[in-house]
Chains A and B, each alone.
Chain A
């Protein structure tokens, strides 16, 4: 193992059965074809590729929402190696993996601050029944969570920001861009070492795109988080990613710096278009 790798994807394959019609012989769709890919510590690794190239499927396999047919995925964290295929989806947060999904997952009827509190990791080290018999224990944990949420709002966004001013108002009133920003900020409530971000800027207007980019840079360069990012906005990739992988036909087709990959003739022809 090389010390500066956080995630190693080794020969992962996955196919889907697209029809149960027995008259169709070619009814398998190979989405990932012995995919090898590494994610380096403390960097933003962008994953680009056509719709259907297997990017979100890879995220679903890393998140353990679906199984791979073969291969392995290893997480390297605090001098330990974890074979992710031995874990269930709900155990991944405690391993240090957080995910932003492609669609918005904000609790509309809850306040901004409560949406952040949902993301707090109560910690596997806490004895789970402690708050049943230690007086004030749950209040103490809730206090710590709230202090962390307020700290994020104050230091990341500042007291002039609408998140701070409207922190007790329902999140349903926020615009789509604001909700996406809040979701990204909620990831900071967990103690994540690796974040999987699935198209954080899709459908986002330019000013919010800039805010999300700033937040991403803070996560990586100030908090030491590693990011694997699926993105179709090439300005965003060029501006924020350290490494870029172009996926094609379920494989890591071209990788390098964003400038190298986006300048690659094959990538231009197959993905970027005119």
Chain B
């Protein structure tokens, strides 16, 4: 099992936990969606895995290694990539400088090679090529900015990719493009994906299973190939 989470409790304010004994496993090379109302604990779960939010009890094991107390940088180096909600980039840096910043201490040649291999995953990344150095990231469209943010995560070669609402704020055609990129990424790199999404249709078409979170616990784990999947998700989300 790649990721094992047991009885996880934690939150932002003492005595007001957002995660209430959350438990689930994630197999290597699988795609798991996480659904739930705003406030259910989806982003909090992602932050806890990434070491951005210390949890009060429970455990998060990644490839058998307990992540409690590890820094976000150490967790990234272990092979977990995190796409922040909103596709965060540094707007006043060029896209290339954003990639350089995300890559850490590697040579220019190594960075160029890594970027070339990312461009081979999908032509969408290659379309960013002509905008890499001559302008700041401010002037990228929303779709391009999300692609750059994804490129910044992929430059560290993650084995597990946590995506926090990658389609929020994107035009429908840009959402289609993003999911095509994710599909290619899964097929070519075998990257394990934990996808937090509000776009149920897209996430259901992409993932094999989903978790529905309510009040910081897993209310249901649903096989997305089941015919009743959509109604089961809606029922669990609306009837809390």
Q: Contacts A16-B139, A18-B135: A273 and B38 contacting too (C-beta < 8 A)?
A: no
> What residues on B are CB-neighbors of A274 within 8 Å?
176
Whether A207 sits at the interface, judged by CB under 8 Å, is: yes
> What residues on A are CB-neighbors of B119 within 8 Å?
none
> What residues on B are CB-neighbors of A51 within 8 Å?
141-145, 169-171, 174
Q: Contacts A49-B171, A51-B141, A272-B173: A203 and B85 contacting too (C-beta < 8 A)?
A: yes
Closest residue of chain A to B200, judged by CB?
A206
Interface string of A249-274 (1 = CB under 8 A from B): 00000000000000000000011111
Whether B237 sits at the interface, judged by CB under 8 Å, is: yes
Whether A223 sits at the interface, judged by CB under 8 Å, is: no
> What residues on A are CB-neighbors of B85 within 8 Å?
203
Q: Which of A174, A178, A203 is within 8 Å of B168, CB to CB?
A: A203
Measured CA separation A207–B238 after assembly (Å): 7
Whether B36 sits at the interface, judged by CB under 8 Å, is: yes
Q: Which of B37, B142, B165, B168 is within 8 Å of A52, CB to CB?
A: B142
Residues facing A in B23-82 (CB within 8 A) are 36-40
Whether A24 sits at the interface, judged by CB under 8 Å, is: yes
Are B169 and A177 in contact, with the CB atoms below 8 A?
no
> What residues on A are CB-neighbors of B140 within 8 Å?
52
Measured CA separation A16–B141 after assembly (Å): 13
Closest residue of chain B to A51, judged by CB?
B142
Q: Distance in Å from the Cβ of B137 to the closest Cβ of chain A?
A: 11
Closest residue of chain B to A201, judged by CB?
B198
Are B37 and A205 in contact, with the CB atoms below 8 A?
yes
> What residues on A are CB-neighbors of B177 within 8 Å?
273
Q: Distance in Å from the Cβ of A97 to the closest Cβ of chain B?
A: 23
> What residues on B are CB-neighbors of A156 within 8 Å?
none
Number of contact residues on B: which range applies? 35 or more
Q: Which of A21, A50, A176, A199 is within 8 Å of B38, CB to CB?
A: A176
> What residues on A are CB-neighbors of B200 within 8 Å?
206
Q: Which of B13, B139, B172 is within 8 Å of A232, CB to CB?
A: B172
Q: Contacts A175-B37, A206-B238, A208-B38: A50 and B139 contacting too (C-beta < 8 A)?
A: no
Measured CA separation A208–B198 after assembly (Å): 11
Query: Which of B85, B169, B176 has most A Cβ within 10 Å?
Result: B169
Whether B134 sits at the interface, judged by CB under 8 Å, is: yes
> What residues on B are CB-neighbors of A138 within 8 Å?
none
Which label, helix, strand, loop or mixed, suits the secondary structure of the A interface? loop
Whether A204 sits at the interface, judged by CB under 8 Å, is: yes
Whether B1 sits at the interface, judged by CB under 8 Å, is: no
Are B169 and A50 in contact, with the CB atoms below 8 A?
no
Are A29 and B171 in contact, with the CB atoms below 8 A?
no
Whether A154 sits at the interface, judged by CB under 8 Å, is: no
Interface string of B120-154 (1 = CB under 8 A from A): 00000000000000111001111111000000000
Measured CA separation A39–B137 after assembly (Å): 32
Q: Contacts A175-B39, A205-B37: A271 and B170 contacting too (C-beta < 8 A)?
A: no
Closest residue of chain B to A24, judged by CB?
B134
> What residues on B are CB-neighbors of A199 within 8 Å?
169
Whether A19 sits at the interface, judged by CB under 8 Å, is: yes
Q: Contacts A175-B39, A274-B176: A205 and B237 contacting too (C-beta < 8 A)?
A: yes
Whether B226 sits at the interface, judged by CB under 8 Å, is: no
Interface string of A169-183 (1 = CB under 8 A from B): 000011111101000
Are A208 and B37 in contact, with the CB atoms below 8 A?
yes
Residues facing B in A192-240 (CB within 8 A) are 199, 202-208, 232, 234
Whether A102 sits at the interface, judged by CB under 8 Å, is: yes
Are B39 and A50 in contact, with the CB atoms below 8 A?
no
Are A173 and B173 in contact, with the CB atoms below 8 A?
no
Measured CA separation A21–B13 after assembly (Å): 48
Q: Distance in Å from the Cβ of B13 to the closest Cβ of chain A?
A: 7
Closest residue of chain A to B85, judged by CB?
A203
> What residues on B are CB-neighbors of A24 within 8 Å?
134
> What residues on B are CB-neighbors of A207 within 8 Å?
37, 237-238
Measured CA separation A185–B146 after assembly (Å): 30
Measured CA separation A18–B168 after assembly (Å): 25
A-binding residues in B (CB < 8 A)? 13, 16, 36-40, 85-86, 134-136, 139-145, 165, 168-177, 198, 200, 234, 237-238
A-B pairs, top 5 by smallest CB distance, nearest first, are A175-B39, A51-B142, A177-B38, A52-B141, A273-B173
